[in-house]
């Protein structure tokens, strides 16, 4: 099995709502979840979406834990313009971690693409960059990159899976999600507001939470947002310790306020 991080799609809504229920139960407030599946789906995928999400999906057919970053389309400048800097940029954001890729691309440890082909970076070798990219499983790269010689690559990259046609691949399952929307601050401007962040208990301590959170950070930066804000329960020490690793600031001064309207 492998884990990929991808953008949520409409077909994920039912599963996300199941995880929302699990999160509410953990937070000791299951009765507070009153939104309908129809309303939830339309709010995210209707004519005027108000929320977006990343999901962590367990994919059958690959053994490595891999990360598919938010690369809608691989940088074609690498191939069209022979641009070494474009190659570097693409490699740094590529998801290289599919079983069998180590031999194909000469990477000692490919998880998270932290050690992509060093020839590309040290020797400025355009052919080495191309070779690495051709062996990598990159979300959205089918048109720009021909992925060959990578065992089970088609299953490991979301762009090549049956899921893109609206069909869930047998054995694939969403095990976590991070849902967000844009919040406007008169002090700071547009910011990402992280509404829910959850990984189901059996899949914790596998780095999935970090993959989701770091994916959010990248997406916020790429979207031009100037920060991320969220809430955490003061008794949830595992979550607080996780956020401390990223240098999060905690503000205990403000009080949450809300006003509910009857349907």
Q: CA dist 153 to 46, 101, 139, 182, Å?
A: 32, 9, 11, 34
| Domain presence at residue 249 | no
Weakest-pLDDT range from 4-13, 131-140, 247-256: 131-140
pLDDT digits (tens, 9 = 90+) for 156-174: 333 333 333 344 445 699 9
Angle at 154 between CA 113 and CA 138, to 5 degrees: 30
The one-character DSSP state at 168 is: P
Residue 253 lies in a domain: no
Q: Is residue 81 part of a domain?
A: yes
Q: Is residue 252 part of a domain?
A: no
CATH number (domain holding residue 28): 3.40.630.30
Place of tokens 């998880």: 111
Does the residue 13 lie in any domain?
A: yes
Give the whole-angstrom CA distance, residue 216 versus residue 12: 18
Q: Global pTM? A: 0.62
Asked whether residue 178 falls in the same domain as residue 111, the answer is no
CA distance linking residue 142 with residue 73, whole number of Å: 8
Total domains in the fold of the chain: 2
Mark whether 83 and 145 lie in a shared domain. Answer: yes
Q: What are phi and psi of 104, to 5 degrees?
A: -70, -35
Greater model confidence, 22 or 149: 22
81-127: pLDDT as tens digits: 444 555 544 444 443 333 333 333 334 433 433 344 444 444 455 55
Domain around 48: 2-60+170-244
102: number of Cβ within 10 Å: 16
User: For residue 32, what are the contacts with CB-CB under 8 A and spacing of at least 6?
Assistant: 24
Give the per-residue SS3 of 167-200: CCCCCCEEEEEEEEEEEEECCCEEEEEEEEEEEC
Question: Which of 20, 8, 15, 17 lies closest to 39, judged by CA?
Answer: 17
Assess if residue 35 is contained within a domain: yes
Helix or strand (DSSP H, E) at 101: helix 101-105
Residue 220 resides in a domain: yes
The residue from 104, 129, 163 where one domain ends is 163
């Amino acid at each position: 099995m492998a884990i990929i991080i991808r953008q949520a799609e409409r077909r994920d809504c039912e599963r996300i709502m199941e995880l929302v229920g699990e999160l509410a139960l953990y937070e000791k407030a299951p009765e507070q979840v009153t939104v309908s599946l129809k309303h939830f789906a339309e709010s995210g995928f209707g004519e005027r979406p108000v929320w977006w999400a990343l999901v962590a999906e367990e994919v059958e057919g690959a053994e490595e834990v891999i990360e598919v970053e938010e690369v809608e389309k691989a940088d074609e400048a690498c191939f069209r313009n022979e641009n070494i800097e474009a190659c570097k940029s693409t490699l740094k954001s590529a998801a290289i971690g599919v079983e069998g890729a180590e031999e194909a691309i000469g990477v000692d440890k490919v998880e998270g693409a932290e050690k992509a082909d060093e020839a590309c970076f040290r020797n400025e070798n355009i052919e080495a960059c191309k070779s690495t990219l051709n062996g990598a499983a990159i979300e959205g790269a089918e048109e720009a990159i021909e992925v060959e010689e990578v065992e089970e690559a088609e299953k490991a990259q979301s762009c090549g899976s049956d899921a893109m046609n609206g069909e869930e691949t047998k054995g694939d399952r969403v095990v976590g999600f991070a849902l967000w929307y844009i919040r406007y601050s008169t002090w700071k401007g547009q910011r990402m507001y992280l509404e829910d962040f959850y990984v189901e208990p059996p899949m914790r301590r596998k780095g999935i939470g970090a993959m989701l959170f770091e994916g959010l950070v990248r997406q916020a930066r790429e979207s031009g947002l100037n920060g991320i804000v969220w809430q955490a329960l003061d008794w949830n020490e595992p979550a607080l310790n996780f956020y401390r690793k990223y240098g999060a600031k905690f503000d205990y001064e403000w009080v949450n306020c809300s006003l509910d309207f009857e349907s």
